[in-house]
Structure 1
Amino acid sequence: MSAAPQLRAAILIVSTTAANDPSADASEATLRQVFEAEGGKWDVAEAAIVPDATTRIQRQLKRWSKGAGKVNLIVTTGGTGFAQGDDTPEAVSEILDRPAPGLVHAMLSASLAVTPFAMMSRPVAGVLNETVIITLPGSQGARENLEAVIKTLPHACLKRPAQTLELSTLAESSDWRPKPGYHHKAGAAVQPHHHHPHSHSHGHGHGHGHGGLVRHTKPGSEHLSNDPSLGPSRRQRASPYPMLDVPDALALIEEHTPRPKTVTSAVNTQLVGSILAQDVVARENVPAFRASIVDGYAVVVPSDGNMKGTYPVTAISHAAPGEAKPLKLGEIARITTGAPLPEGATSVIMVEDTVLKSMTDDGSEEREVELLADGVKEDENIREVGSDIKQGTKIMSKGEKISGVGGELGLLAAVGVAEVETYSRPVVGVLSTGDEIVEHDKPGNLRLGEVRDTNRITLLSAVRQWGFEAVDLGIARDKPGTLEQVLRDGFRRVDVIITTGGVSMGELDLLKPTIERALGGTVHFGRRTVKPIFSLPGNPASALVTFHLFVLPSLHHLSGQSPAGVPSVPVTLSHDFPLDKGRPEYHRACVSVGRDGLLSASSTGGQRSSKVGSMKTANALLCMPKGEGPLRTGHVVQALLIAPIQPL
């Protein structure tokens, strides 16, 4: 029997005093003695001191629990009491993936056997990124607590806790054929042939100079993807998933996307982009009082309507809040636009229909004004209560979107609505997969086989452009356990995950096996769906195109927006377009509006799925049918708009 592997441990001292003077701490040496007493089972590889600051504690714990240098166990000491600044338990609890209450119980029991003051300690234990974390008290209590659990910790560190995660992956298939005139032929949620590694240059039959794939057999009847544990010699030679027409895929996306959740949202600028989940009615009349619509003079109109003559100015009514003096027949009040009418006033004479006759002795105010109006009627130049919006009337409907132009927010503010029911907008995580993928900003030259990660930054940008919060989930390597943990961690942070790469038939294409075999999901539309995964191709152009075709409609369904997906408009081809002989395609194009008001489309160039340059100026996807020859200049096709139209 081989010896058990040595486990790596780290000690974190939480103390502002020790952070300023490390010699003040004796806990590290004490805890090292406990580890050494276990006969070589532990290597205390890391130790550090941080002040009593939540962010500093969390930053150090996260650093030790991820990456190549991660440790199996972290013990903290200090900051677990009731004093001001004892925030270690709160700092740790906020970042744990899973709590471990049994360890806490064991530590408290051991300490209580020594002193009743142990009940004043607030220990926390749990798992972060497969690293076990335990908070210990300071001084002698640290030794007692660690000794209480040290025998069981190797088992805890080597045995990853099981967890059930139900999810669905929306429409993945290694073979795909769209109906003529419908969606993109280079897959996405509906997956085309895609060769891993995630090379950004897979070859599926686009017919654009990079070779068509030849298939001599039909898909088999297997129901699960490759089992990575069986090795490449036992992997399937054909996709187990049937081909889908795109309309069918979109229907299934709508059917299996979780229904939108309703939340109460404050009426402020953060509401922009939200969809109303309920009708909204006016809480108040607009205006709430009889108001003047001009600068002039409020008057009491006599029965004959004759207002010619000179009148004393007895009051002033400004738009600023205040009480206006009641007005009598034969008196007038100067009034500004939007100001409330004084009590008793029945009409307003415009300042243009008056002449100043006299001023006060100091010259600061009007004393008398001559009115030049005859035939005056009541209610002239007056905005009546509720004349714009009456209290109780519906001002916005369920399903309407709050735009950033300001009109909807202004309307809600005007009628006194402070909160509305809206659909919660999903948070979207974006993950790249593959051992060959490196960060896009890696300095220096790439090694043979390395590929810069263009997909992640591209999709994060696209998600945010469409108004959704995007979370960068990084790069997952081609190891089943690693990918599983990244997906599990991702779903604790987001509602939807978008991945690129790892979805073909290669021995390192681990995404579908991980979803099916490790996470209990169902590839090609799960029936127990809680959160969806969209697994897009590794090629940059295909990834971005399929995001707009398949992922965006699901995000719209999740956020209550209708109609879902990108808008479609007819456009005229500005030059000849080559067609694919075997199948319809979605051609990346630039649509612009001419001086005649008509929309025209021009190609962005080569359409290989790996040709990321073809997306640079593209604001549309042209729905092109299959055919032998080119589609000629002047032909009208449908264009799916993925960005604003520009003038010529």
Structure 2
Amino acid sequence: MTDEKLKAAILVVSETASQDPSTDKCIPVLQDVFAKLGNDQWEVASTDIIPDSVLDIQKSIRTWTDSENPINLIVTSGGTGFATKDVTPEAVTPLIDRHAPGLVHGMLSSSFAVTPFALMARPVAGVRKGTLILTLPGSPKGAKENLEAVLKLLPHACVQAAGAASRPLHVGGVEKLENDAGVSSGSTAAGAASGHRHSHHHNHSHSHGGHTGPKAHTKTEDRPQSNDPSAGPTRRYRSSPYPMLAVDEALKLIEEHTPPPIIDKAPVDMALGGSVLAEDVKAAESVPAFRASIVDGYAVRIPSSGKFEKGVYPVALVSHAQAGDVQELEEGQIARITTGAPLPPGADAVVMVEDTVLNSQTADGKEEKEVEILTDEIKSGENVREVGSDVREGATIMKRGEGITVVGGEFGLLASVGTTEVSIYRRPVVGVLSTGDEIIPHDRPGPLSLGEVRDTNRPTLLTAVRSNNFEAVDLGIVSDKPGALEDTLRSAFAKVDVIITSGGVSMGELDLLKPTIERSLGGTIHFGRVNMKPGKPTTFATVPTKHSSSTASRVAKTIFSLPGNPASAVVTFHLFVLPSLHKQAGIVPAGLPRVKVALDADVRMDKGRPEYHRAIVAVARDGGLVASSTGGQRSSRIGSFKGATALLCMPAGEGWVKKGEQVDALLMGKVGAV
């Protein structure tokens, strides 16, 4: 690998430069550093400029680190200061598998030799998968000095991070490493701090727009390097490394990373209910397929003169609405016909039975012999349903994206034109499991032992999945042991498309979902905390799995790790899991319908987080929608869902939303009446 140039990427984080790239000065400065001090070992393979957004930063980095040909080194510039909109460290830290505090120390020491204000930066360094990541200040001078301080050391780090064996690299000891890098023990890494001090100050952050991220009061290097369960409880995180995302940002990540729908061929039968068509459907045959009467009466033949005469006619034929051959009707004859029956060949119109009287009958008195027709105003085609008058062969009867409801006429329409098979979006199969040695089946007889908790989440979530017309697989209760959890998840992904877990996503030493997903399954956690109540620890991840039809191809499957508190689990299922299931099933719009409702009483707001308040929605006498709270809203209180038909989207704030004021509501069930 050392015979080839290492690939670097430069990511500038700046609201101003993202709107006008011509204002950026960092990219050319950093490119110049690679060219002049890189010993011809580097190729700047990619550059990008993005705004101060946690999601945008993470998306750019993942694009470079998670591809089939990952970048060796990513350097970011900007967003590392103390301004409220500087969020680069918060965006980068959760992506890092192994932190590199030594590089952080080297950059700060070198820059501190220039100005004490260098300590106002919050750099992060570490390895994600096979890529080294460094965050540099936003000012061109600060970024240049930080990169110069460590650049000559980075090839060695990048080669190791990419998977090279350490032993051959270290043959010859430290002296050889220093000689190869062009540094010495008595100097800074690249000689950037050359003994004299500059009189200028550095601005190590951009004061521009973006998203506010959490600010830790301790340094990255003083915290655990990773959420490794094997390190024991003394080395676990004391605060979550995952940035707190707004609900809208979390939903965008779910939309972005949910796999697209898979198309299947399906027979036209009652199992189609709830499916969405993946292709237009064309009529295989016309409806009706023959000229048919739309009334009970008598088929007649219009004379060649074009004028039908009233009078007495012999009943020569009988045509019922059943299969069979019908002989041709001659001029001057009529045929008794029932509604829906085919017109005899030669017939032109049908006279309603109301416009006739019986004239004579057969000798046995069982059949009509002659019938008098009382009107001469019969026109050709009267009371006749023509071939294809309902649906013509080849016409599009349903379009891609339309649903086949369980109460509508779509199934009847498909059946009426002879459709035997349609293309539909496969509905994902969902597996549901609970985690925790303290969890016991809800129906186990006998009293609880100290610490035991009945499993309410699993049966509740299974019911919620099935009530939304998705197949649910019960994966049972899994022990709080890393190996047991990994084995269960691996085997489950062989038979389901989506896994929903509850519990094990907080900060306890036995909360193993996130490390198991990241470390054991090679998955990517797209978010691990959401700014909402209840449901803050909600986690969404994708896990690469082998495609069922080919061991060579791999597909991403989704996993939602919901909080263990019952109300939190149900709220987050409806808010986050359901839109993902809808997308995979081709259902548009995805998620719960949103409506405006008026409160029937004052509702207190939570001052810290937006709240999804359980409520009952009904139609008021004036036709508007009114919402009633279900009472106490603790996240452990599943009783708050008793009778609930909606989630009120309550904003964060002090005080109350007053009676009569309107808020958004997400409808989970049928709307009643006041």
Shorter-chain TM-score: which interval? 0.5 to 0.7
Indicate how the Cα distance of structure 1 residues 431 and 220 shifts in structure 2: closer, same or farther if over 3 A, else same: farther
Give the aligned partner of residue 421 of structure 2. Answer: 419
1-structure distance, mates of 2:227, 2:278? 43
Q: Are the aligned partners of 2:596 and 2:625 in contact in 1 as well (CA < 8 Å)?
A: yes
Per-residue CA deviations over 1:485-515 (Å, capped at 9, x if unaligned) read: 1111111121110000001111111111111
Cα distance, 1:498–1:531 mapped onto 2, change above 3 Å: same
CA distance in structure 1 between the aligned counterparts of 2:475 and 2:320, rounded to whole angstroms: 57
Matched, 1:249 2:250: yes
The correspondence for 1:553, drawn from 579, 600, 610, is 579
- Residue deviations 1:307-354 (CA, integer Å, cap 9, x gap): 311000000010101111211221100000000101111110000000
- Residue matched to 2:178: none
**Greater RCO (CA < 8 Å, at least 6 residues apart):** 1
Identify the residue that residue 237 of structure 1 maps to in structure 2.
238
CA contact (8 A) 2:277 2:423 kept: yes
Give deviations 1:232-284, integer Å, cap 9, x for gaps. Answer: 11112121211212212111111111111111000000010111000001111
For 1:379, the equivalent position in structure 2 comes to 381
CA distance in 2, matches of 1:508, 1:278: 47
Q: Is the 8 A contact 1:428 1:494 kept in 2?
A: yes
Residue 536 (structure 1) aligns with: 562
- Aligned partner of 2:12 in structure 1 is none
Instruction: Name 2:393's counterpart in structure 1.
Output: 391
CA contact (8 A) 1:219 1:242 kept: no
The answer (yes or no) to whether the contact 1:431–1:472 under 8 Å persists in 2 is yes
Look up the match of 1:298.
299
Q: Distance in 1 between matches of 2:415 and 2:492?
A: 37
Equivalent-residue separation in structure 1 for 2:248 and 2:476 (angstroms): 32
Question: 1:537/1:273 Cα in 2 relative to 1: closer, same or farther (>3 Å)?
Answer: same
- SS of alignment partner, residue 483 of structure 1: helix
Equivalent-residue separation in structure 1 for 2:292 and 2:669 (angstroms): 44
Q: Which amino acid aligns with 2:619?
A: V
What is the deviation of 1:304? 5.4
Please name the residue that 2:268 is paired with. 267
Contact 1:570-1:637 within 8 A present in 2 as well? yes
Q: 1:179-578, aligned counterparts within 5 Å? A: 217=217, 226-302=227-303, 303=305, 305-524=307-526, 525-526=541-542, 530-578=556-604
- The answer as to whether partners of 1:313 and 1:333 remain within 8 angstroms in 2 is yes
TM-fit CA distance, 1:636: 1.5
> Is the 8 Å Cα contact of residues 543 and 557 (structure 2) preserved in structure 1?
no
CA distance in 2, matches of 1:560, 1:300: 52
Task: Give CA-to-partner distance per residue, 1:124-157, whole Å, 9 cap, x none.
Answer: xxxxxxxxxxxxxxxxxxxxxxxxxxxxxxxxxx
- What is the number of equivalent residue pairs in this alignment? 436
Are the counterparts in 1 of residues 442 and 454 from structure 2 also a CA contact under 8 Å? yes
Q: CA deviation at 1:597?
A: 2.5
* Counterpart contact for 2:543–2:558, Cα < 8 Å: no
1:527 & 1:231 partners in 2: Cα distance?
Answer: 25
Distance change (3 Å), C-alpha of 1:218 and 1:560 = farther
The range that moved more, 273-282 or 628-637, is: 628-637
Contact 2:611 2:649 in 1 (8 A): yes
Equivalent residues in 2 for 1:591-630 (5 A)? 591-630=617-656
Question: What is the alpha-carbon distance in structure 2 between the residues aligned to residue 276 and residue 643 of structure 1?
Answer: 25
Contact 1:556 1:565 in 2 (8 A): yes
What amino acid does structure 2 have at the position aligned with 1:546?
T
Structure-2 separation of matches of 1:421 and 1:568: 30
| CA–CA distance in structure 1, aligned partners of residues 465 and 394 of structure 2 | 38
Q: Cα deviation per residue 1:60-84 (whole Å; 9 max; x = unaligned)? A: xxxxxxxxxxxxxxxxxxxxxxxxx
- Secondary structure in structure 1 of the residue aligned to 2:618: strand
Mapped to 1, the partners of 2:340 and 2:513 lie a distance apart of 64
Whether the aligned pair in 1 keeps the contact of 2:301 and 2:329 (CA below 8 Å) is: yes
* In 2: Cα distance, 1:237 partner to 1:453 partner: 28
One-letter amino acid of the structure 1 residue matched with residue 662 of structure 2:
V
Report if the CA contact (8 A) 2:265-2:422 is conserved. yes
CA distance in 2, matches of 1:547, 1:219: 35
C-alpha contact 2:224 2:236 (8 A) present in aligned 1? no
Mapped to 1, the partners of 2:235 and 2:315 lie a distance apart of 99
Percent identical residues: 64
Secondary structure of the corresponding residue to residue 530 of structure 1: strand
Residues 219/357 of structure 1: CA separation in 2 closer, same or farther (3 Å cut): farther
Partner of 1:94: none
Structure 1 residue 216 displacement after superposition: 7.4
Distance 1:486 1:439 in 2: 17
Aligned partners of 2:543 and 2:556 also within 8 Å? no
Deviates more, 1:357-366 or 1:569-578: 569-578
Uncovered stretches (5+) of structure 2, i.e. residues with no partner: 1-67, 69-213, 527-540, 545-554
Distance 1:238 1:601 in 2: 37
